[in-house]
Amino acid sequence: MKEYFRNTWLGIYTVLVGMKITFKHLFTPAVTIQYPEVKLKLPERERNRLYVNMDDCIGCDQCSRACPVSCIEIETVKSIPGEDLGVTSNGKKKALWVTKFNIDFAKCCYCQLCVFPCPTECIYMTDIFEFSEYDRNNLVYKFATLSEEEAQEKKLNFEKFTAEKEAQKAAAAAKPKDDQKTAS
């Protein structure tokens, strides 16, 4: 009989305790972060989409070689004397035209290994992480600032320059022979 009344009391009492707790929660503000409108601050060392500051890139190809999944594709063309490519922000002189700098984010594993070898710190991680696409090809980001035609032009320039150099060399190589001939 004592047990019976105790059960009754416990039943009512515990329900009231529970109701008190839920009543408190009724007025606590929601913990929901309404994602697209409100975004959490990302941690300081977050690793997301890469960005390449092409003004600083010297085309050294070190990032591409560091990449474990080979997602960075770089093609460069040497500049010819007389062409001024400017200097990077930390004073390095640029010597190469970067005609192609593609990063395939479908392959990228966000390991950040490409960031450290960069001598000019021009490749780095941004805080952008929403860049899903319907087509995989859209995930290949082209960073090269030169347009197709410009790149073609630079290539031709360099080829012409090397051809001229070759010709000069050939001429230089031929000359002493002639001298010898004339001397003899």
State the residues that interact with other proteins by CB under 8 A: 7-8, 11-12, 15, 18-19, 21-23, 25-32, 34
C-beta of 27 vs 134, nearer to other proteins: 27
Maximum alpha-carbon separation in the chain? 137
User: Smallest distance from the beta carbon of 2 to other proteins, in angstroms?
Assistant: 15
User: Smallest distance from the beta carbon of 40 to other proteins, in angstroms?
Assistant: 16
What are the distances in angstroms from CA 48 to CA 4, 22, 131, 137?
Answer: 63, 40, 10, 19
C-beta of 8 vs 168, nearer to other proteins: 8
The string over 36-71, giving b where at least 16 C-beta atoms fall within 10 Å of a residue's C-beta and e elsewhere, is eeeeeeeeeeebebbebeeebbbbbebbbebbeeeb
User: Smallest distance from the beta carbon of 37 to other proteins, in angstroms?
Assistant: 11
C-beta of 21 vs 156, nearer to other proteins: 21
